[in-house]
Amino acid sequence: MQWTSNKIRKTFLEFFNGQNHKIVSSAPLVVKDDPTLMFTNAGMNQFKEFFLGNEKPENTRVTDSQKCLRVSGKHNDLEEVGVDTYHHTMFEMLGNWSFNDYFKEETIDWAWKLLTEVFGIYKDRLYITIFEGDKEDGLPRDTEAFDLWNKYVPADRILDYDKSDNFWEMGDTGPCGPSSEIHVDIRSDEERNKVDAKKLVNRDHPQVIEIWNLVFIQYNRQASGELKPLPAKHIDTGMGLERLAMVLQDKQSNYDTDLFQNLIQATEKVTGVSYSGSDQKKDIAFRVIVDHIRAISFSIADGQLPSNTGAGYVIRRILRRAVRYGYSFLDQKEAFLYKLLSALIKEMGEAFPELKKQSTLIEKVMKEEEEAFLRTLEKGIQKFSEYRKKHDKVEGEFAFELYDTYGFPIDLTDLLAREEGMKLDLDGFKKALEDQKNRSRKATSMEAGDWVEVNPAESTNFVGYDQTEAEVSVARYREVKQKDKKYYQLVLDETPFYPEGGGQVGDKGNLKNGSSQISIFDTKKENNLIVHFIKELPKELKGKFTAEVDVTKRENAARNHTATHLLHHALREILGEHVEQKGSLVRPDYLRFDFSHFQKVTDEELQQIEKRVNELVLENTPLVEKRNIPMDEAMQMGALALFGEKYGDAVRVIKFGDSVELCGGTHVPATGALGLFKLTNETSVAAGIRRVEAITGAEAYRYVSERIQQLDIIAEEVKNKKDPVKGVQQVIGQNRELSKQIDSLKQKEEVAERNALLSELKELNGIQFLAKTVDLDAGSIKNLAFKLRKELKNAVILLGSKDKKVTLSLIVTDDVTQSKGIKAGEEIRDLAQHIKGGGGGQPFFATAGGKDANGLDEAYKQIEEKVKSL
């Protein structure tokens, strides 16, 4: 049977669907409500709240193929990607899940049946690892798993490993448990006869590999390190599609499977270079490129654009790594990655339609990022060229600067150094890199204690859509330390506080108990828990509290959130239906809205958009809210779903007239509550992404009022109250005329000064020399200097000025530089010390600025002595 990757994926899902598992969609690559993660790095991420007990699942058995990205934190395979044949940044994790339903026996039985009977993998090529136990944690060997496997596999192929290999944990704290890995030996019979695969399991052998990990979640790791049994047991399995495809397609490398071959062939066509298998550096470059194009494309499709911070920086780093390999080893000096997108869509577009729907955006963003980085790369090479002129080795700090600022990999810096016969301080580079990582870790590190149960509640009941005040109890709390500050997080049994989400910031407010009051300074959602941030704990936690939202801030945020919906509708109406929301920020004081559009929004279009939104405000259209309705019903209503968001089976729909969106935020009861809508800014975020900022209500009134006051002041100043614009235009016209007259006078002064200087030149050691103070500004001195350089031969002239600040300008004609070796840029540094300043420049012209005019004469004497000595 021909096992294509699409057929493998489909067969896996259908197999578990036949075991009463619901097939669910992959979650987006970018994680929105988990502060411990940037990206979805394992199949279990989207089910974390079920394992934690924060929410009860609708289905106790599910299966999926999850898009994963491992490029940061604990699971960071980036530097191995491309070097070997089986590590990837973006990969698919096939998984089946049980939430307090079946456990080890069914999991092992189904895994064996699927691999051997359905996929037809030879039984004698499969090896099993189990948890050997751990004395420190007080855990015994997983004999239950051993006995279950022993029904299918001889005891000598069931191998014991410690917790570093066979005890799975989601992090430093949280649900965890022993695991059982399935490894497969795909070596030739000849190789198998030489070395027993048991000796190669978990030894990073490229043909004896793990393909499936079965995790038996039954403990909870406390912040203290203690393990406590979970009240409910769960199953979490993960099998890499790429590795399974390699096995079923009888390949020796993931990159030889159909998942990558189309991309490799497309890369060959675009670059004109062959993936030969004989040139290691080129082959690694191919593997890096075809792996990274997947990670970049899926991330952009899921709403994460390359940027300078956070998750966006990781995506930018992946893209630059691919470009660097193409630049260094495939001679690609122009953007080329974006040309591979069509091949990726051909291979994966059916399973992941977001690639097709977002293809234009992905291509434009990628192309612009590539071109920008290539320009940066050229600057880095130029900087290296300047550096080598003054140094005989490459210091670690400089190598790190190239890496950090210009995206140079250390191997490219090493290559440039070797070409110039220079030694690279690799240890210094590593130290600078580690120092940066430590600074970054310190800036972002957060220590969270264990949750302390007060009044146990399974989840928080959110009542904030209907009320801004509620009688509540504290369900649990924990202490948090971050950036040397301590605060607390509370979970309440119910809350009116809206947690940050959908672009809207979290509510602020107070928690009252009698006469005592504690400020809630933020509200966020973490693994489906609504978490309230406070600086100090209430003295008594057991009692009843009144939770009060800051109503003014909530109402202002609601106005701005509703405004984003009206704005989205107006943008699509005026600019076209290609417009899609690509991010937003909703605060009480303003809103920010990012959207796909491939050119600058004109002033006329912005006026139309603003006018249209205000028309919708004046219509005072009432809010129509549908809570917990089926997704299909929402789609039939015409609701807009955003790419990169994970929606459940039941959703909330917000409708204002023809504006219909899926949304969890707070809104006004009718559009008239916005009062006034005012756009304040429009700019570019990335290729194909524009950003507008706006204000509503009192902020908009204040803004317009201030602008009118400014206009009144301008009208008064230009003495034209009826038509201040015309008055300003007249003033500008008069200013232009005056500027022309001033320029004319300056030119006359320059001519007069030039003639005077020429008459004062004296011959010194065969060189025409002059050093004096002139009454000209810096611009005029520069103009004069360039004219004199062209007119004179064998000349050295130093001009000082006291105009606004003290300056020195040194002119050295080319023939003097060539015959005497004197360079203006080098000399000016010493001369600048006399005026207590600094400077630099080119060999023929250099300037310096300082603050001590008394030093000018000393500078003149020094340059005169220099010329005498030539």
DSSP string for 839-865? EEE-SSEEEEEES-GGGHHHHHHHHHH
Helix (H, G, I), strand (E, B) or coil at 294: helix
Determine the Cα–Cα distance for residues 616 and 574; give it in Å rounded to an integer.
14
Buried b / exposed e over 644-677, threshold 16 CB at 10 Å, is bbbeeeebbbbbbeebbbbbbbbbbeebebbebb
Q: What is the pLDDT of residue 244?
A: 96
- C-alpha span between 547 and 509 (Å, rounded): 8
Non-local CB neighbours of 591 within 8 Å, separated by 6+ positions: 560, 561, 563, 564, 567, 584, 585, 693, 694, 695, 696
DSSP 8-state class, residue 640: B
What b/e readout covers 407-432, taking b as 16+ CB neighbours within 10 angstroms? bbbbebbbebbeeeebebbeebbeeb
How far, in Å, CA of 414 to CA of 817, rounded?
34
Backbone angles phi and psi of 513, in degrees to 5: -145, 100
Is the torsion defined by CA of 772, 773, 774, 780 positive or negative?
positive
- What distance in Å separates the CA atoms of residue 606 and residue 601, rounded to the nearest whole number? 7
What region, left, alpha or beta, does residue 182 occupy, with left being phi > 0 and alpha being psi -120 to 50 degrees? beta
- For position 681, what pLDDT does the model report? 96
Residue where the block lists tokens 């790429």: 242
The Cα-based distances of 420 to 206, 390, 391, 519 in angstroms read: 37, 13, 11, 62
CA nearest to 430, candidates 455, 410, 402? 410
pLDDT score of 49: 81
Residue (of 734, 811, 802, 736) closest to 774 by Cα position: 802
DSSP summary character for residue 813: -
pLDDT at 488: 95
Spans of the chain below 50 pLDDT: 73-75
Alpha-carbon span 712 to 134, nearest angstrom: 79
DSSP state string for 445-470: -EEE---EESS--SS-EE-TTT-SEE
Give CA angle at 51 (50, 53), nearest 5°: 65
- Contact status, residue 159 vs residue 128, Cβ threshold 8 Å: yes
Contact 430, 438 (CB under 8 A): no
CA-atom Rg of the chain in angstroms: 34
What pLDDT does residue 75 have?
Answer: 47
Q: Decide the pairing of beta strands 516-526 and 529-534.
A: antiparallel
pLDDT of 430-450, one tens digit each?
A: 998 888 877 776 666 678 888
DSSP 354: H
- pLDDT in the model for residue 498: 97
